[in-house]
Structure 1
Amino acid sequence: MHTHRTALTALCLVATAAVTLTACGDGGDDSGNKGGKKAGPKASATAKKEPFADLSGPQIIDRALKATTGASSLRMKGSMASDGGPGSIDLALDTKGQCVGSIGTQGEGSIDLIGKGDTVYMRYDAAFLRSEMKGEPKAEVDGAIEMMADRWAKTTTKGSEKKEFAEFCDLKTVLADFEDTGSVARKGKPATVDGVPALTLHETDGKDRATLYVATEGEPYLLKTVNEPGTGKKPDTLVLTDFDKPVKATPPQGDVLDLDELQD
């Protein structure tokens, strides 16, 4: 479980966030055994169709993380409450450095992001700029807001000090913490995430609890994680969709502020 918390924490740093959650429901159990009769051929066939019947919880998690980190693109949407939140993230990204979406923190504004190759486009709102410039003279804060708020700006990611921008849009970097697990997950009940059949798995670490949802049809992608920190805070929730779908990162047109030129 520790690994999944680390991954969510990494996402919080990328996007400290507020929440749009995808509902998930438990599936029913149908044993097919009525009137005390022994299970017949139909019941045996049903048993054989049980997802991941021959795998342990940790083995399922290993497969899920391998499939997820092997995706060429995906979309992540959810909330991070335990580290700097509550906040929200809705970002599609791929392994080629393309991304499009938004990240933000409640009460401290948000950023729209478009990543295309070596260039990242950002659009800050006034609340975010004000939060980032806490402690600065009011005149400077007001000037930055007048110049940049709700306006697209761009910067290249080639300089070492700008690599953090590239990491927002690099799927391999974002999912790096998913690759080494050491899971002790227990199997749970069937469920669905956005209509996709899944199996729930549960992990505990002291008072902390995590529930993970793994697809049972097609690739065993990790579809959803819910981390309950056990401190009375709202859980961290992340939903993953749109695996291997193209990311349409179209650069904004018109009035785009070039931050690199301002720094020259």
Structure 2
Amino acid sequence: MNGMHGRRRPAGRGWNMVMSRMRTSSLLGALSAGVLLVCGCGGDSDEEAFSGQKADDIAARAVTATEKASSVHMKGTAQANGSSTVELDIRVDDQGNCTGTISGDGGRAELLRSEGGDVLIKGDRAFWTNSARASGGDVKRGERLAGKLAGKWVAAPADGPDAAFCDKKRFLASMDQDKTERQGLKRGETTEVDGEDALTLEKDQEGSHISMQVATEGEPYILKAATKGSEDSSVTFDDYGEKVTVQQPPRSEIVDASDTQS
């Protein structure tokens, strides 16, 4: 490992997915529930990995390291309500830049944000139809919304719920709201994650088995984790410290968020 600027391998976590709709505001809560449930780091073997430190203490250090990273790439999938699969692929930094996609239930949307400005969302017809339905709208309203906004960039306020995925600090903080979720961990085996040595921490909780591998060299960043149970999930965190490049669309191609209410 070369610290924050050298990691390019997948790094990830499991989470318990509870998705009620396709908008980013709902996806945030769904994905964040348990994403930082377990984390840790160490050396080339279980004994060398933070020798003498308890798993929970290592977990706390790993959370801190991840939060302090200047940027990160988050990618993963999760099963919602035992059936629907949600996918996330987002790059975000602490300068307010963000780019990526979210998809699920047949819909897909691109996200981008430049230097802390409005979050721009470009969803397909299924995304906006799902959004209207989840917000309590009927089929006709969903069709009208999709017809008006599909394929266009829609501006969402930077402090609004739809901006959650593109706010690194806010997103990571939401993952770690319940500190008890990363307590009671046990050390597992030392393994490899895409060619990098990793230490496994794991626990059983509420009928699910949660496992995670973390880097044993360089910063104690989260590498890979999964939840196996009624709702399987897996997410990777990588490219820590790498530049997030955003190509802002012309103003003429951006629709105001108020148009989503009509």
CA contact (8 A) 1:110 1:127 kept: yes
Select between 53-62 and 135-144 the one with higher mean Cα deviation: 135-144
Deviation sequence 1:27-80 (CA, Å, 0-9, x none)? xxxxxxxxxxxxxxxxxxx97983333322212212211111111210110012
CA distance in 2, matches of 1:224, 1:47: 17
- Structure 2 residue matching 1:197: 3-state secondary structure: strand
Q: 1 CA distance for matches of 2:29 and 2:125?
A: 17
Query: Are the structure 2 counterparts of residues 222 and 149 from structure 1 closer, same or farther at C-alpha, using a change threshold of 3 Å?
Result: same
Distance change in 2, residues 1:106/1:9 (3 Å): closer
TM-superposed deviation, 1:250: 2.0
Provide the residue aligned with 1:67 in structure 2.
65
1:91 pairs with 2:90:
yes
Partner of 2:127: 128
Residues 15, 234 of structure 2: 8 Å contact kept = no
* Residue 164 of structure 2 is aligned to residue 167 of structure 1: yes
> Which amino acid letter does the alignment assign opposite residue 196 of structure 1?
E
Cα distance in 2 for partners of 1:147, 1:206 equals: 43
Greater length-normalized contact order (CA 8 Å, ≥ 6 residues apart): 2
Residues 157-197 of structure 1: per-residue CA shift (max 9 Å, x gap)? 36xxxx21332211111111336355111111112223222
Equivalent in the alignment of 2:103: 104
Q: Give the corresponding residue for 1:38.
A: none
Aligned residue number for residue 25 of structure 1: none
1:177-256 residue pairs with structure 2 within 5 A? 177-178=175-176, 180-181=179-180, 182-228=182-228, 230-231=229-230, 233=231, 235-253=232-250, 255-256=252-253
- Unaligned segments of structure 1, at least 5 residues: 18-45
Identical pairs, percent: 28
Residues 1:152 and 2:163 are matched in the alignment: no
SS at match of 1:187: strand
- The separation in 1 between residues aligned to 2:78 and 2:236, in whole angstroms, is 12
| Structure 2 length-normalised TM | 0.73
Offset from partner CA, 1:233-255 (integer Å, 9 cap, x none): 4x111110011112112212375
Aligned mates of 1:132, 1:8 — CA distance in 2: 18
Q: 1:16–1:103: 8 Å Cα contact kept in structure 2?
A: no
How many residue pairs get aligned? The number is 225
Cα distance change on mapping 1:184 and 1:169 into 2, 3 Å: same
CA distance in 1, matches of 2:29, 2:250: 25
TM-score by length of 1: 0.73
SS of the aligned residue for 2:250 comes to coil
Q: Is the 8 A contact 1:72 1:243 kept in 2?
A: yes
